[in-house]
Amino acid sequence: MTVALGRLEPVPLRDVWAHEANDFTPWLASSENLMLLAETLHLGELNDQRTEVSVGSFYIDILAKDDEGGAVVIENQFGPTDHTHLGQIMTYLAGQEGHVTVVWIAEAFREEHRAAIDWFNASTIDGFDFFAVEVEAWKIGASAPAPRFNVVGKPNSWSRSVSRATRVGDELQSQYSAYWAEFDAFLKAKAAPFTVTGNPLSWSYSFPLGVPGAWLLASAARGNNRLAVELQFTNKATSKALFDQIQQDQLAIEKEIGEPLEWLRQDDNILSRVAIATKTFDLSDREQWPKQQAWLLDYLLKFKAVFQDRVKALSLPDATAEPEAAE
């Protein structure tokens, strides 16, 4: 029997992300997609990500931390690389102490910029690593586009460390996959109005709330042993306005939840969050998973009951207007 095979077809990036700053950066900064980049580069778990971090008169697109606490600087751009983004990266690095990993993402790397990345990796002091990464989007037939990261420049020690990082990463991903698979089974057994789809490979999973740019998030972060449920506003053009509106009802909301919440406007980040968290569980102890997942479901149900109608009633700002991209 002959199996019909599809053909991979490239998709223009702007057909997937209309605007680099307003669409691609928020997409990449989400935990699930940042994990995809980290997997490609074998960086382990990335967390504490912030977007549009001010550096003098310009901004770094994404600043995160690796699992050893080192800074990971991510600068992205559509189109071919240019001297402006290279200069912004070097300006940020001036005076930095401790380990720093730089990830420069572009649609295409000019040869002189790829060579510059190689020179930095060969010439800078220990503790500074540089990656050049090209981003693509592909589809098969009428399928949804899929992103792909291609490493075109890397630290000298990267190849030697890939096998070790792969082993560690595979173990961590297996743990996440098992955790969320068991959580999905738990949700089904409880007939809960939530479903875990796909194969999540990071410390968090988001559930749509029925409003553009608004999500409920469940997270189980082993790095800091933190279990959390959050309401997140993720759209760059609307997140602060929606957060400000919902916070006006803070007293009533916390009364309905039954305890105080963390109200995190995060002016240095695209995301705004309302969260509740606990560190009373050992996330490495599989025998505690049922209790942890019961905790997650309890607060997901509370957040859905308290927030869903309120969020739907908010005045949605015009998210179609594209603010000027940060240089």
The predicted-structure confidence for 62-92, as pLDDT tens digits, reads as follows: 988 887 778 899 999 999 999 888 888 888 8
Quick one: average pLDDT of 293-322? 84
Same domain, 215 and 248: yes
Pair (151, 190) in one structural domain: no
Domains held by the chain: number: 2
CA max distance for the chain:
65
142 pLDDT more than 60: yes
Structure confidence at residue 235 (pLDDT): 80
pLDDT of residue 150: 92
Residue 25's closest CA among 66, 71, 72, 61? 61
Instruction: Kindly tell me if the per-residue pLDDT of 303 is higher than 90.
Output: yes
Domain check: are 175 and 296 in the same one? yes
**Does the residue 134 lie in any domain?**
yes
Contact 8, 140 (CB under 8 A): yes
pLDDT per position as a tens digit, 104-123? 999 999 999 999 998 988 88
Please give the residue that has the higher pLDDT: either 247 or 315.
247
For residues 203 and 176, give the distance between their C-alpha atoms in angstroms, rounded to a whole number.
7
Mean pLDDT within 130-157: 88
Name the residue type at position 170.
Answer: D
Measured from the Cβ of residue 209, the count of other Cβ atoms closer than 10 Å reads 19
- How does residue 325 score in pLDDT terms, banded at 50, 70 and 90? very low
Same domain, 300 and 176: yes
Mean pLDDT of 233-251: 90
Residue 222: per-residue pLDDT:
74
Kindly tell me the burial class for residue 265, based on how many C-beta atoms sit within 10 Å of its own C-beta (0-12, 13-18, 19 or more).
Answer: middle
Higher pLDDT, 307 or 197: 307
Residues 15 and 112 in one domain: yes
Portion of the chain with pLDDT greater than 90, in percent: 38
Which domain range does residue 177 map to?
170-312
Is residue 3, in this structure, part of any structural domain at all? no
Does residue 163 sit within a domain?
Answer: no
Confidence label for 168 from pLDDT (cuts 50, 70 and 90): very low
Which tokens go with 192?
């809960």
Q: Is the pLDDT of residue 140 over 90?
A: no
CA distance 11 to 137: 5
36: in domain: yes
In-domain check, residue 324? no
- Tally of residues, the chain: 327
Percent of residues, the chain, with pLDDT higher than 70: 88
The pLDDT value recorded for residue 68 is 75
Whether this model's pTM surpasses 0.85: no
Q: Pick from 271, 186, 183: which is nearest to 231 by CA? A: 271
**Same domain, yes or no: 253 and 149:** no
**What are the structure tokens assigned to 143, written together?**
């399928």
- Mean pLDDT, the chain, rounded, equals 83
Decide which of 125, 156, 187 is a domain's last residue: 156
Residues 72 and 136 in one domain: yes
Mean predicted confidence (pLDDT) in 141-153: 87
pLDDT of residue 49 exceeding 70, the answer is yes
CATH code, domain carrying 262: 3.30.1460
Asked if the structure places residue 323 within a domain, the reply is no
Residue with tokens 């600043």: 63
For residue 254, the surrounding DSSP H or E stretch is helix 250-257
pLDDT over 70 (residue 285): yes
Query: Which of the listed residues 130, 156, 182 is the one where a domain comes to its end?
Result: 156
Lowest mean pLDDT among 46-55, 98-107, 184-193, 284-293: 46-55
Q: What is the pLDDT, as a whole number, of residue 164?
A: 45
**pLDDT score, position 317:** 65
Phi, psi of 148 (to 5 degrees): -145, 130
Residues 93, 205, single domain; the answer is no
Q: How confident is the model at residue 95 (pLDDT cuts 50, 70, 90)?
A: low
> Which phi and psi angles does 131 have, rounded to 5°?
-120, 140
Lowest mean pLDDT across 90-99, 167-176, 245-254: 167-176
Residue 327 has pLDDT above 60, yes or no: no
**pLDDT greater than 60 at residue 55:** yes
Q: 57: helix, coil or strand?
A: coil
